[in-house]
Chain A
Amino acid sequence: MNADPNTQPSYVSPLLGASTTFVAIVLLSAFLAPWISPYGVGGLEERILLESPSWAHWMGTDGLGRDLLTRVLYGARVSMTVGLGTALIALVIGTAYGLIAGFKGGNWDHFMMRVVDIFYGLPDMLIFILLSLVFGRNIGGLLVALGLVTWVRFARVARGQVLQAKEFLFVESATALGASRRRILLLHILPNIVGPIIVTLTFSIPSAILAESTLSFIGIGINDPYSSWGTSWGTLAQDGYRAMRSYPHVIAFPAAAIFFTILSFNTLGNGLRDILDPKQR
């Protein structure tokens, strides 16, 4: 958003390391959940319902006597799949769309960006809820719906970057040398717009995680509360919300997981933006 190095808040860099570490931890638990946790995800211990955090259960147990740490670790799978999956879907659709619009220019560009404007003007959470009614309340449907809402961000960034890159001298000279349009687009323009795209990618991961956990919290997200594969942190927080008065730990840990994951990705995005912004070099 702003490129002047003097205006960048200087607290960003020390947080950057911590954020990268936290993202790595979340990714690791998403991949390694079954090996990290000593308890099975479905394991019920009926005698220790809603137990406070202890050495045996670091995050305590939930209303059915399940180890909360295990559930939070497995929940990372849902968040990471939704976050990364949405970002990738939106990246492919949006970047291709923006590249074509920017490269074709003229009326094509005008029409294509009008479509993006209209998408941009829609309340995305609502569109997303409508789409999830059609595609079903499972991870696949959620990915499609979130991807369809998020792609416009990439389209805007990619198109803006292409318009800038078209003015570069090396693009002009490639055109003058008779390079094909396809070659110019893929070999000369695409590599030069990667930076801002990566930044957009990093920022769309936390928005997808936020959207998914919010929907799950209010009960219209992924409809699978007893999944053996992993339950959304939003659903876990919702479970804890009902027991909050007497057992705050049940909501505290999933909520912290959501908050720190979003915070880490946002910090990472800010850091990447500072590093990759060409105007700063």
Chain B
Amino acid sequence: MIPLLLKRLLHGIIVLWIVATLTFLLLRVAPGGPFDSDRKLPPEVIANLEAKYHLDEPVWQQYFRYLVGIAQGDFGPSYKYLDRGVTQIIADTLPTSALLGALAVLFALLISFPTGLLAAYYRNSIIDRLCMLLATLGISLPNFILGALLIWAIALKLGWLYAARWDQWTSAILPMITLGAAPAAYLAALLRSTLIDTFAEDFVRTARAKGLKESTVIVKHALCHSLIPVLTVMGPLVAALLTGSFVVEFVFAIPGMGRFFITAVTDRDYPLIMGVTLVYTAILVSANFLVDVLYSYVDPRIRTH
């Protein structure tokens, strides 16, 4: 098991290095620079700016400086925000995004498990159809549309919550639903089909035959067995949440990392783009790593491979 995890860890580090290199190269060849503006700057000013940001050095030297910086947790200076570096911006905004993401995961799990279980247990009933219709709609509804819909209905028409504020715990409700809805729908549908397969397995019948309580059969035998497929999609799900988060942060005007990323893209603030991309990738890589660990814990067969 330990060698497998080491291999996975190495794989993750390689992914991070590739992403770092790729973003570095891509942004070097991207047309247009951060200092392009309508007003033509004098050449001396440009030269000074380039010297300040080490843009006058050869590319390989910039690349090396950048990699060494990352290894030390320093993503360099931002082109737009002169008072704080990229690392500081990320440190300021990441907690907000992480909180939102964690709430969305919690929401998705709390909604999907009962729904999937209910649909599978009463399969082909009206409950099942209703649940799965909702799931199909949820999977197809883009989160920016859901967000706009919730703002319009709950905040503007009903006036129950504020739309674009982030100063009390109720401000998190609508963004949490918006971000968590699609994962919830996806997980519910997945759980339903897995559980239906599991309910037909011999060991479930045996458990019933030996007279166990129905709730024990469902929770201890069926549900635990169905966790494995759910775990496998957790990686892609975290990825979906990550990219979803910058849409939701945009719609609800939440001061998280995603909103800074969008501004950085329009500003062509390259160091900030590279930094945020790397942090996102690191989160994704760690999530996949965690899934691998959990996976080998849940399914003993994997440990031996």
Report if A and B associate in a common complex: yes
Binding site for B on A (CB under 8 A): 1-2, 4, 6-7, 9-11, 117-118, 121-127, 129-131, 133-134, 136, 206, 210, 213-214, 217-220, 234, 237, 241, 244-245, 248, 251, 255, 258-259, 262-263, 266-267
Given A118-B14, A118-B18, A219-B266, A130 and B140 contact (CB-CB distance below 8 Å): no
Q: Is the CB of B145 within 8 A of A11?
A: no
Which label, helix, strand, loop or mixed, suits the secondary structure of the A interface? helix
Interface hits, B235-255 → A, CB 8 Å = 235, 239, 242-243, 246-247, 250-251
Which label, helix, strand, loop or mixed, suits the secondary structure of the B interface? helix
Binding site for A on B (CB under 8 A): 11, 14-15, 18-19, 22-23, 26-27, 29-31, 124, 128-129, 132-133, 136-137, 139-145, 148-149, 151-152, 156, 190, 193, 196-197, 235, 239, 242-243, 246-247, 250-251, 261-262, 265-266, 268, 273, 277, 280-281, 284-285, 288
Given A123-B284, A126-B280, A263-B136, 15 extra CB contacts under 8 A: A4-B196, A4-B197, A7-B197, A9-B129, A10-B124, A11-B136, A118-B18, A121-B288, A122-B15, A133-B27, A133-B268, A133-B273, A214-B144, A218-B250, A266-B139
Report the Cα distance A194→B267, complex, angstroms.
44
Give chain B nearest CB distance to A247 CB in angstroms: 11
Q: Is the CB of B277 within 8 A of A244?
A: no
A-B contact number at CB 8 A: 123
Return chain A residues, CB-CB under 8 Å to B190. Answer: 1
Q: Is the CB of B277 within 8 A of A130?
A: yes
Give chain B nearest CB distance to A168 CB in angstroms: 26
Q: Is the CB of A237 within 8 A of B27?
A: no
Return chain B residues, CB-CB under 8 Å to A11. Answer: 129, 132-133, 136
Nearest B-chain residue to A240, judged by Cβ: B148
Q: Is the CB of B193 within 8 A of A241?
A: no
Q: Is the CB of A267 within 8 A of B193?
A: no
17 contacts between A and B (CB under 8 A): A1-B190, A6-B196, A9-B129, A121-B235, A123-B239, A123-B281, A127-B22, A129-B265, A130-B277, A133-B268, A134-B31, A213-B142, A220-B266, A241-B251, A259-B145, A263-B136, A266-B140
Return chain B residues, CB-CB under 8 Å to A118. Answer: 14-15, 18
Give chain B nearest CB distance to A132 CB in angstroms: 9
Return chain B residues, CB-CB under 8 Å to A2. Answer: 193, 197
The list of the 7 closest CB pairs from A to B, nearest first, reads A125-B243, A263-B140, A255-B145, A133-B30, A262-B140, A134-B30, A9-B132
Return chain B residues, CB-CB under 8 Å to A210. Answer: 142
Return chain B residues, CB-CB under 8 Å to A1. Answer: 190, 193
Give chain A nearest CB distance to B264 CB in angstroms: 10
Q: Is the CB of B242 within 8 A of A244?
A: no
Q: Is the CB of B140 within 8 A of A244?
A: no
Report the Cα distance A122→B239, complex, angstroms.
8
Return chain B residues, CB-CB under 8 Å to A248. Answer: 152
Give chain A nearest CB distance to B77 CB in angstroms: 19
